[in-house]
Structure 1
Amino acid sequence: MRVTKYTRHNFVFVVLSYCVTVKYTNRYSCLFECVPCEEQKSSYKVYRWYDLRFEAVSFSMTCDELFCNQDHALGSGTRYEYAPSHFSPLDSKRAQRDRHPPNAGRAAVNLTLVQRQTRKICDVEIVLEDLLDLGACLESSGSIAWTTQSIHSAFTNLSQRQTMDRLTYTKVKGSSIMQHELNRRTRAKMALQKMRSNARWHHSQLEVKASTSWLEWFESQGALFHRCPNLSLKPMLESIREEEEHWRAQLRSSALLLMSDTSKPIRLNALKKTVNTLPPLLSSKQDVHVSDTVEELTSHFQDVLARTSINDPVDTCREYALSILICLVDYRGQRSQKNNQRTTFLVSSILPLIASKIVNNRFEEREEVKLFIVQLLHKSIPQTHEDIIKTNITQLLSIVRAGAIDSFDDIKKETCTLSISIMRSLNPGNTFDSPSSIQQISHESRAVAVSLCRCLGSNLTNKKTAVRQTTLECFRTLISCAGSRSLVQDGARAEDSWNFLPALEAMGQDGVVKNREVLVHVLTQWMTWSPVEIFDRRDFREKVFYILLMLCHDALPSVREISRKSLQKMGDLFLAEEHSTLPEISQKSPDSAIRELLGDRVDVLTELNSGVSALIDSHVTHLLARCMDEAQDWTQEKRWRGIAVLSSCVFYAHPNFVGLLDERFLLQLSIARETTEEPSKKMIDAACAYIGCVVDGSNYVPLLLAMIEGRRQSQMRDHLMSTGDVSRLVRLLHHLLIGFNQMKLKQHARTIMKVLESSLDTVAYLSSRSGEFGENSSLIMNLLLSTISACKNNKMSGKNVGELERSLKELSLTEEGKKDMTNLLKDLTSDKIFEKLDLSPLDARHTSYVLESIHSVLTYTEDSDVITSQEVQLIGPLKKVTDKKSEHVHRKGGLLIVGRIVDISSRNFEENSSKLCVTLLQEVLRPILIWSGGRNAAELRREGVDVMVKIFLAAEKSEKFQMILRECLVVDGTIDGTFVRLLESLMDDDDPQVRLRAISSLSSLFSLTHNIPLSTDTRHHLTQSLSKRFNDQDETVRISAVHLLAPLDTHSPHDDNLQLCRSLVLHLDDTRDGVQKAVYHVLSEMMAEGRVREAVRSDLEDAMKSHRNPGRYVEPLLKKTQEK
C-alpha cells in the first residue's frame, strides 16, 4: 500500500492507492481532504472522505482538476510510502511520476469539455450522462455522488444556460475544422463509454452485502488504515456526518435545475437517467440509505416533478416524471403501512394543476400519460390525510368525471379504483362490509358517494365487458355508502335527473354471467344493509322488484337461486315495513305437465311466500302494464324479459290474487304467446296451466288457449252456451279483439287474420241471438264494435264484415240499442280511462283504442240524444286528448270524434246539441288551431278548420243553432275579436289548404253575424292580412280572398276597404284569368256605391295605360264609374 500526501496552500490531500490481485487487476482510489489541526501541526484530521471504489477514472479526473489542471502546479509536499510485504518498495522516480497519475490526461480532457465547451450540446450530453452514471453508482453505495467543488460548479454551469439549446453547425470554408470537431467528440464519447462499462463491472463485483450500510463497510475497511500513524477513523466519521447535508443540498439544487431546464434534451436525459436508476435503488435492501434518498426526493423534488408531469410540453418528459412519482409513492406506501402514518405528500401539489387543465378543457391528450395520472392519484390518496382529501374533494371529483367519460378503457377502470380509494380515505378504518360500518359513514361522505355514482353511472352500459364489471364492483361499495334515498331524491331533481336504476336494469340482461351474479349480490347486500331506504319510495321499490323478478328466470341456476333468496328477503322486509298480512298460502304441487314445460327452470315454483305475493299485489298495475308492453315488443330480448316477469307474477302471486286476474290479463298473456318464440310459449303455457291448477273453477284457461289458436271454437261456444256462461264467452272474445286492435306487429298479421276469420262466425252467431241474452246485449254490441274495428284495422273486409255492420246498425236503432250505445259511451268516456294518458306505450295504445271505440260508437249512432245524455261526458276527455301535451294520434282521433258529433247534431239541431257544438268550438277546436308546434301541426290545423267550416255551414241550416252560435261569437256589441284574430292568423298559415279554409270560415262568420260591426283594431289587422292574400302564391287562395272583400265591406264599411278596392285594380292584370274574373265581378258588385266608384276611377284610368289587355275588364269597369 502506498500513501502519498500532496500539499496545496493550506490544504493537504492524502491519496491512498493500492492494488489487489483478483481475477482482474483493478485500481481503486480514495480521496481524503485534510486540514491541519490547530492543536498539533504535525497531525492532520480527515475533513472529508470520498469513496471512489467504483471508478478509477473518476478519481483521476478529480485529482487532475484539483492539482494539475490549467496553469496551477503542485506545491511542495511530503510523501509517505507504505508497502505491504507482497509489494515492492517504490523508488523516488516512480513516486515522482505518481504525482501525475497515468489517467490524468484523459480526465483533464473530459473536465475541460465541462468548463470550456459548455455551449456545445454534444458535450453537455456527454458530461450529463457521465455525471448521472457516476452518481447512480455512488448513491447506491451510500456515498456522496458529487465529490468536488469543480464538478458542482460545472454542473451549475450546465443548468443555468439561457441559450444555445441546440448546436447548429454552419457551413465553413474548409472541412478541417468540422472534421476536427467530430473527431474530438468521437474520442470523448468512446472514453465515456469505457468509463460507464468499468463502472457497471465494478458495481457487480463489489456489491455490498444486504445487511451492511456504507458506514459499516467503512468500519470493516479500518484495517487498511490501522498502520497509518497520522490517520484516525473516529474523527473521520464525525466529519462525514457533519458535512454530508451540505453536499446533499448541492446535489438537490443541481438536479432541480436540470429537471426544470429550458432545453428539452437536458430535461429528457435527466428524467430518463432518474427513471432508469431509481427502481434498482428503491429495490435495494439498504433500508436506511434508501429511506433517506426517497425522503429527499419527495420533499424537495415533488413540486418540480408535479409541474413537469402535468405542464411539460414534451410527452416523454411528462411520462418520465409520472413514472418517478409512482415509484416514490409505491415505496412510501410500503413504509407508511409499516409505520401506520398518513401524510400530505403529492396530492396538494398535483391536484390543482390537473384541475386547472380540466376546467379549461385541456386535460391530457396522450392516453398513457392520462393513465399514469390516474394511477398516481390512486396510489397516493391512501397515503394522504383525510383532511387534505376533504379540502380537495371538488378537484378529485372533476378528475373522476373526466376519467369516467374518457374513451380509453383502462382509464375508465382505473377511475373506478380511484373512486374506491377516495371513499376509503374519507373513512379511514371503515371496511364497508357490514351494516354497522355503513351506518358510520358521515353525511359528507354520502354526498361524495352520490357524486361518484353519477360520474360512473354511464359506464354500467359500456360496450366493454371489463369496464362494466369493474364499474359494477365499484357500485357495490358506492351505492351502499350513498344510500338509495340520497341517490333517488337527488337524481329526481330537475337540474340533474340522472338515475342509476335503468343502468342496473340493463345489467340484468348483461351477456356476462359474472356481471349478473355481481348485480344480484349488490341488490341483496343493499336490501340487507339499508332496508328502510329500499322501501322509502314506491317507484324505487317497483324497479328493484322488477329486476329481481327478471333475474329469477336467468339461464344460470346460481343466479336464479340467489335472485329467489333476494326476492324472498325483499318480501319479508316489505311485510315488516308495511305491517300487512295475507292468508296462509295453500300451494298446490305442480303436476308433471307443468314441470315438463318448465324444464330446467322448474325451481321458479319453489319458495313462495306471502311477502312476495304482497309485493305483487301492491305493484300489480305497474308490473302488468310494463310486462305486457315488453311482451309485445319487436325485439326478442325484451319479449322474453316481459314474459319471464309476467310468469313470475303468476308463479309467485297469492292464489287469491290469481283468482282476481281478469280476462284481459289472460288474453294479453295468450296474445303474447302467439307472438313469441318456443321457449316463451312453454313458459306461458306453464303459467296458464298453473293458474288452472291453483284457482278453482278456471277451466276457461285451456279453452282460451284453444280459442287463440283458432281450434274447437264451435265446441267451446256450444259448451259455454249450454252452461249459460255467455258473458264469459263474450268478454273473452271482446278482450281478444281488443288485443288484436292494439297489436301492431306486421310479422304476426297472418296469425291475427286466421283468428279473426275463425271468430267471425261466433260473433255473428251471438249477434243473431242478442235478443235472448237480456242484460248481456250491451256486451254483444261492444263485441260487434270490437270485431268490426279489428277487421278494419287489419284491412279485412268481405261479406261477413258487412253483415256485422248491418247487424250493428239495426241494433243501434232500437230503444235497447240506444241505451246500449249510451252505456258504451258512458264507459268509454269515464275519467278512469283518461286520467293517466301517455304514461307508458301500453297506456297510449289503450287510449288510441278507446278513441277508436268512441268513434265507432258514434259512427253507428244516428240519434243526438245519445251524445247529449247527461251520463255521457264528452267534453272532458276530448279536451285531454286534444291538449298540446298529447300525442298526435290522440289529437287526430279527438278531431274525428268532434267532426262526427257535428254530423250527428246537424241532422236535428236542438238546444243541447247546439250548445255541445259551441262548447266544442270554443274548448276543443280553438286550442288545436292555436297550437303550431311539430311537423304534424299543419295536418291538425287543416282538419280543425274543416270541422269549423262544417259547424258554420250547419248553422246556416238551423236558425236555433244560428242564434246560439251568434250569442257565442258576439261580445259587447261587436264580433269576438279573439276568434277573428285566430282566423286571421290561420290566413297566414304555411299550408294553403288552411289559408283557404280560414277565409271560408271568415265568410261564413260575416254572414252569421250580419250588421254586427268589428272593432277598429280587429278590422285594421284583418284588412292588412287580407291585402297579403291578394298576392298569395296559390290561385285558389287569391280568388277566395278577393271574394271575401265584398261581404267584409257590406258587413263593416270603412275607408280601409276602399284602399283594398284600389289595390284590387292592379290584379285585373293578374297572370291567372280566374283571378281577373273574380276581381271584375267583385268590383262590379261594389261599384253600386258611389264612394267606391270615386275611389277606383283614377286607378282604372292608370290601368288603361299600363295593363296588357285593358279592353277586357278595365274598360268596362271604367265606363261603370262614369254612370250615375
Structure 2
Amino acid sequence: MAAVVMVEGETAEAEQAAAVCQALSRHINCLGNESKSSRRRALECIRAGTVEQPLPSGVQQRLLAYLLRPLLGSLSDPAERCRELAALTLADFLRAVPRPFEALPQLIPTAVQRLGQQDVTEPAEELRLVLLQLLVLTVEVCGRKLASYLEDMVKILQRTIVDPFPEVKKMSCECAAKYAKCTPETFHMQSESLIKPLMQTISHQHSKVRVAVIQATGTVIQYGNGKSVDDVLSHLAQRLFDDTPQVRQAVTEVVGSWLLELRDRYSYFYKLIPLLLSSCSDEIPCIRELATDYWRKIGLQWQQENEDDLKDKLDWSAQLSIRYPAGVERPCLGCRELVFRNLSKVLPAVSRDMTDWVPATRVKASQLLILLLLHAEDHITQHMELLLSTMYRSCSDEETSVVQNSVKAAELIGTFVDPDVFLKLILTALEKSASTAHLIVLSAVIRGSSVQVLHPHVLRIGATLAMPDTCQASQKVEYLEHLLGCVQILITVCGKQCSEINLPLLKVLVTIASLMPDQELENKVEKTLTSLAAAQNLDNFLDLYRQHISELIGWVADKQHQWTNYSVQHLQFETIIIQSGPVLGESLHEVFPVLKTCLQPNRDPEMRLKVFTMLSKLLLNANETLDSQGHFSSYLEMLVRDILVPNLLWHAGRTAAAIRTTAVSCLWALLHSKMITLEQALGVYEDLMPKVIAALDEDSKMTRLLACRIVSSILKVCGNHLNPDELNKLYPELLKRLDDGSDEVRIAAAKALSVWFQCAGILNDQSLMKNHLEFLYRGLLVHLDDPESNIQKLLLDVLKIGSFLSPSLLTQEIEAVKHKHRSPYYCEQLLQHIQALNGDAS
C-alpha cells in the first residue's frame, strides 16, 4: 500500500514539475536572446517560478535537473546581472533539493571553467565571490560526494586563494577548510597543492585575510598531509610578530590544535612547541591565556598517552626536590617532559634567534628561553655551555628587553643548576677575558641561587672578582657598575658568609672607586661598604677598614717602586687613604713609607702631582684623618724633610711647577692645621725656609700666595726664636711681593710683614736693625700711595704695627715722601698714630 502511495506521490510531483517546466519553457528560450534585458527578465521569471515558490523538494529536484544546463550556461552570460541571477538561483536550488550532489557532474566543470582556468575566468570580482559562495554551499550540502572532484576543487582553490579581491581570498580559505573536513579520505592526496598559494597570501595587507589563511592552513594540514608542516612553520613563526592580535591568536589556535590533534604531532613537537610557548608571553592577556590553556591540555594529553613510561616520575613529582622561583606555578609533568625531551633540538635554534639582526626576533627568542628553562629545570645542566655563550652575547644587546630577559634566564640557571657547574664555566670565562656580559650573567646566577648552595664557593667567587684581570679589566662606567652589582648581589644573597671574603670584596670596591672618580658611583660604593658591614653586624664600614687596612696597603704597595701615572695601584692607594678616614691614624707606620717612596723627585711627575693633591686634602682635615690617634707628630719631620722639601726644589716644566704648587699646598695645610710644634718648626727651618723663599718668585700665583701665607705662619710659630740674620733674609722677599701682579699676593705679603714686625720687636739690639728698618719703611711708604685704597689701608695698618720699632726713623721717612704722595691723608694718619704712640710712651 505504501509503495502505491509513493508511486502516486512521485507521479503527482512529476506532473507538477512538468507543468512548471512547460510554463517556464518560453523563459528558457529567451535565455538565448540577444537582448540583455530579455535574458535578465527570463532569469527573474525562472527564479520567481521555481525557488521562490513553496514547491515540494521532489518537484524542485526535477526542476533543477531540467534547468541545470541553461542556468549553468547563463554563468557565461555577457551581462553581470544575468550571471549573478543564475548563480543565486543555483544556490537556492542546492539548498532546496534533497539530492544536490546530482548536479555535481555539470556544476563542478562549470565552476572550474569560471574560476579555475588561466584564461577563461569570471572578470567581475563580486561575481567571483558569489560563485565561491555557491561553491562553499556545494561543499556544505554535498559533503563526501565531492571526494571524486578533488583535482577540480584543488584547481579552483589554487587560483582563488591568490585572487586579487580580499573577500574572494577569505571565502576561498573557508571553502578549502570545509572541503578538507568533508573529504579527509582523499583530500590528503592533493592537500600539498594548496600550501603554496596559502603561503603566498599569508602576508596579505588585510589582517582578516591573514587570519583566514592561517585558519585554513591549520585545517588543510590537519586533514591533509602532515608533511606540509615544514613548509608553513617559518611563515607561521613570522605571523607571531604580527601587529594585529587576531592574527597572533589565529596562529596560537592552529599550533595548539596541531599539537593536540595532528596525526604525526610527535614528529613535529620540537618544531611546534616553541611557537606555542612564544604565545605564552604575548603582550595580549587573552592570547597568553589561550596559549597557556592549550599547553596545559597538550601536556596532560601527552602525560596520559605515555603514562606507563612516566609512572615513576608521576609518583615522585608530588614531592618537589628542587628550589623553584617564588610566585611561578610549576608546569605539569607532561609539559616539563615534552620540553626536556625536545630541548636539545630547540635550544640551538633559540640561540641563533637571540642573535638575529631583527630586534623583535631577539626579544621573542629571549622570552621563549625563559619558558624553556622553567620547564627543563635541572635538565638544563647538560646544555650549560650553549646557554652561557648565548647569554654572553644577548646581555650585550642594544635592546633593553633582550638584556632583561637574558638576566631572568640566568637567574633560572642559578636556581636549577649546581653552582659547581655554572661557576666553573662563568669564572673561567671571567679569568680569561672579563667583559660586562660575564658580570651581568654572574650577578644574575648568584641572585637566582641561595646561600646554602653558594657558601662553599664564596672564596673562589671573591678571589676571581678581586683578580686584577677582572676588577681592572675596564674603566668604562658600565663595566664598573656591573662589577659593583656582582658585589652587591653577593652581599645580599650570602650575608654573613661574606665575612670570609671581606678582603677580596674590599679590594674590588677600592678598585671601582679608584678607576672611576664619579661622585654617584662613589656613593654607591660607600653604600655597598655599609651593607657589607651591616651584614656582619659591624657599626660601619670603617670597622672593615680597621680589620684589613694593613693588608690593603700591603696589597697596593707591593710594587710601589714601579708606580707611574698609569698605574692603578697609586689610585687604589689614594682611595684607601681617603675612605679609611680616622682609621688612617692607626696605620701611619705603613702609610708614610709608601708616601715617602712614591713622592721622591725622581718618580713619575704626574703621579706625584695626584698623590700630593690627596695629601693636601688629608692635612686640611688632619684631626680626623692622619692625627685621629694623636700619633701624627712623630711623622712630621719625615713629611717635611723627606717629602715636601725635596719637591720644592725648582725644576723646569709645567708639571714640575704644578708639583711645587701642590707641595706648597701641603705645607700650608700642615701649618694651617696648627699641628706643628715650635721645636719641630725650628728643626726643619733651615731646610725648609730657603725653598719657601724661592717659592715667592714662582710663576704660579697660587704658589706665591701660599708661600706668603706659609712665611706668615712660620713666623707666628717660631719667629720669636729666630736670630736677626734669619729675620732679615725674609723681609726683602716679602717687600718684593708688594709689587706683585695679584692683589691677593700683595695682601698676603703685607700681612706677613705685619707678623715680621712683631717678631723683630723682641730683638734686644735695635741699632742692628736701623738700616733694615730704613729700607723697609721706605719700601712700605711707596705702597702707602697705592692706587688701590684697600692696599693703602692695609699698608697703613702694617706701618702702624711696625712704627714702634723706630718711631723717629719712620717720622723722618714720612716727612721725606709726604709731599710726593697724591694725597697726604694716610701719611697724616700715620704721623698722628706715631705722636699718640710717643705720647703714651712718655
Q: Normalising TM by the smaller chain, what interval?
A: 0.3 to 0.5
More helix by share: 2
TM-score by length of structure 1 reads 0.35
TM-score by length of structure 2 reads 0.45
